[in-house]
Chains A and B, each alone.
Chain A
Amino acid sequence: MMDALYLILAIALPTMAGTLFVARVLDTGFGLAARLSLGFGTGMGAVTYLFLIFGFASVPFSLLPFIAALVIASGLLAYRLKLPSATCSSCGAVEENSGILWKIVSALLVVLIAFKLLFVFFEATHRPVYSWDTWTNWSAGAKLFFYQKGLLLDSADEHFFGKGYRPFMGHPLHATFMQVWSGLWLGRFDEALVKIYSFFYFLAMLALFYVAVKDEAGKKFALVGTYLLSSIPILTYHAQDGYADLPLAFYSLAAVVCFWKFLATERKGLLVVAGTMLGFGVLTKNEGLFYIVAVGLAFILARYGKAQSRGAFLRELASLALPVIILAGPWFVAKFAMGLGFGHGLGGSEFNWLSDPLYTEGAPKGIHWEVIGKSLKEWMLTANFGLMFPALAVSFILGLKQIYRSDLKYLYIVIFSVMAAFMFVYLTLEVTTVMDATGIHRNTLTYAPIILFTLTLLASRIFKRSR
């Protein structure tokens, strides 16, 4: 019972601070559920940032400094805050007539989503860490930092910055710190409960997705889309273990949703939140960089020459870029200064361009074109993402005119940019993780919610349900 209370506090306190930040930055554009979801992501990201600050400042890890920082931040953010309306004034609510058939279908979908949440919650709270990569990449470092109450930054220490417990020193530490965070609240490193954060990222993602689609396309598309999102099989597994891919998926979806809302409203606060999410994405996984490039590119294409003036464009660009620089910058400075490297794959912490040592040891260097066919096979013929990729292909062809004529093309620019970035890595670096399918679906998981969001909006347009 006390564990439950502590874990609620572990989630609620950062969520409160994050929600106040979102309320401070966003004067409109989202309802309460979306603000809470974004607030949760912001708050948990802030906890990671605090771990880095306290860790590098050699403040021993204990609850007090974190609680103090979050409470002070909340107080400052709440000071003279005009609470925005809980309803979304700028959202084009879609009038819908619901027949009895839809009522039955929607009730069924709600039951299925609720069942999924129940299943994931049970597994997240009862199933101890069990997958190899969770142990080696995230949990071992978390457990070490938890018991050592710090980041072990003495360079003479055998376990400097988790060395010996963290095989890839250049890995960002969000998933690791989330486990330390739960451990600090529980007072012990509980093998199951330390990864409770995954469940809440899953829940927050579903809520954000539902609200974002409902505001624009109505409840029917929102509910069907949310059910399909909740049913992505591999996502369901990630929501119960202590991985980093699901949090990155949340941050990238949140950034894209805010960017999308910005295109409709031109409220700069949305770009600040988008940039914040992108920044936290980089603190979650190295692949977060792909999303900065993709959203940045889509933003420039959407706004360059279309903003009221060059100055206005630059102010918008700054709104997006500054949070990224503030959040991710210090981490990259530390990475370079400490020589932590960027490589995250099987070959070690350094890049091995054009030769994945685990795939073709001793073979001549070259581009591994075979990963394209293998990727298509994995996307099209397996059930890891339901029918997402066949639907993406078919709807792209059928809806090309709709896409080209609307802002949806910018979402496709994000999707294809990220896919291209991953494909570049597969072709030149990470061949094994595609050929044995151990990595490709995890990578895809990070942008699958964006694809589904885009597909749902496209479908709503095809069915003439949205602007």
Chain B
Amino acid sequence: MTKSCIHSVFAAILFVFCLSAEGLCSNPVEFRATELSRWTPQETTSVALVGGTIRLSGLNMARIISPAGLGIEPRGFISVRLLTRNDNYGFIILGLADGRRVSKRLRLRGSHDLSEGLREHSVYIGDIIGPSDRIEGVALSITGSREIEADVASIRLFDPTFLERAGIYWKGLWEPDFIDTWTISFVTTPTIANTPLPPIIVLASLLAAFIIILAVYIRQRTIKSGAAIRIVMGSLIAGWIALSVRMDYNWLVILGQEFTDLYGKEESERIKEVNNRDINEFVDFTAYMKSVVPADKKISAAFRKKGNPLETLVAYYALPIITSRDPDIVWVYGISGLEFDPSSGTLSMNGEQLPYRVRLYAQYGDAAALFEVITR
């Protein structure tokens, strides 16, 4: 009910905006999963064709790149059907015949359940490629500070009909925000065809004010300056409220999601849930460390500099155990390249050796270990 009311308020604005849009019609070019699975993966852990989709996995990024020389005529829009497990950002990168690379960012709201159904993300690209450009290559990049896992069904370049285009703008206008580590610095501004909503509303408000002033003048044959100013101010305030209602819609969606994700959960589960970094296993490791290291001992990260993200997180989450440059216990997370000589007590990683002798204190699965400092 509330959502439909909010949608209705904006329908008129969008309708006016869409009237000015051009209608271009060319045949779409679509790359389906079978073809996408043959694209070149980059910084991607795995690409697997599963049914009608490819499943991309990566640590901080997953990217697939098309063969060069596609020679595609420009289209106005690009659409990707996919679903990510976490909230991520996507980039559609287009390589043009003149050597330029242009890109569009997608905000990908994730779902822990990848069987939920794919989402279609369509974006206007007419502002980054000209009518005479040719698209020679396409890449899809999914990034984020969390682990990447995504099902991708298709990438499509197309020129929508007038109504399709209006639908895409409408959907884009209501694309909800999500909370991530950047949210505290800035929020995502809704757009219509890549034009930010605030200036559109300001222009619409001023236009409405002008029409009202004109109507009053025609009817009364006069209008006082004070009345005109009040009409402009009233119109701007109405526009501001409209924008606020649109932004409030974000909280409605976020609250619905967050209530499911956070309510009634243990603190450790909530920490995993809200962190945009891929620290789920790391949170468990920190909890393990707190369970085996006495509170009066001091710890330090081996082979990680002060300020390294994981070092900072351990220093925080391990409290009351203090992180010190003069530690009793050192921890190693990610033991690839780790060399430990129990007889001499030397610990090294990729050629770097600790300046003190240690002995194994505890082992955390295959991923991490704690060492007790014997002598300095």
Contact = CB atoms under 8 A, between A and B. Distances in A.
A115 to B, nearest CB: 7
Contact of B263 (A126, A135, A381, A438): A126
Interface residues of B, number: 63
A441 B233 CA distance: 25
A123 B258 contact: yes
B240 A391 contact: yes
A190 B270 CA distance: 12
Contacts of A126: 258, 262-263, 270
B323 interface: yes
Interface string B269-282: 01100111000000
Interface in A418-467: 437-439, 441-442, 459, 462-463
Interface stretch (A54-62, A229-237, A361-369): A229-237
Interface string A367-400: 0000000000010111110111011001100110
A102 to B, nearest CB: 14
A386 B247 contact: yes
Contact of A381 (B185, B189, B276, B312): B189
A231 B244 contact: yes
B244 A228 contact: yes
A438 B183 CA distance: 9
Contacts of B323: 164
Given A126-B263, A236-B251, A387-B236, A134 B258 contact: no
Nearest to B235: A394
Given A119-B255, A127-B262, A383-B196, A237 B183 contact: yes
Interface string A121-157: 0110011101111111001100110010000000000
B338 interface: no
A265 B254 CA distance: 45
Q: Give chain A's interface residue range (CB within 8 Å of chain B).
A: 35 or more
Interface string B165-189: 0000000000001010111111111
A109 to B, nearest CB: 9
Contacts of B267: 128, 190-192
B233 A231 contact: no
B245 interface: yes
B250 interface: yes
Contact of B274 (A127, A143, A459): A127
B229 A158 contact: no
B106 interface: no
A133 B233 contact: no
B183 A131 contact: yes
A159 B258 CA distance: 37
A77 B294 CA distance: 46
Contacts of A438: 182, 185-186
B179 A387 contact: no
B315 interface: yes
Contacts of A243: 184
Contacts of B185: 437-439, 441-442
B324 interface: yes
A384 B184 CA distance: 11
B65 interface: no
A241 interface: yes
A116 B239 contact: no
A227 interface: yes
Contacts of B248: 112, 115-116, 231
B325 interface: yes
Contacts of A228: 240-241, 244
Interface of B: 177, 179, 181-190, 196-199, 201-202, 205, 226, 229-230, 232-234, 236-237, 239-241, 243-245, 247-248, 250-252, 254-255, 258-259, 262-263, 267, 270-271, 274-276, 306-307, 312-313, 315-316, 319-320, 322-326
9 contacts: A134-B184, A135-B313, A144-B322, A190-B267, A234-B186, A387-B205, A390-B236, A394-B232, A459-B233
Interface of A: 112, 115-116, 118-119, 122-123, 126-128, 130-136, 139-140, 143-144, 147, 158-159, 164-165, 167, 189-192, 224, 227-228, 231, 233-234, 236-238, 241, 243, 378, 380-384, 386-388, 390-391, 394-395, 398-399, 437-439, 441-442, 459, 462-463
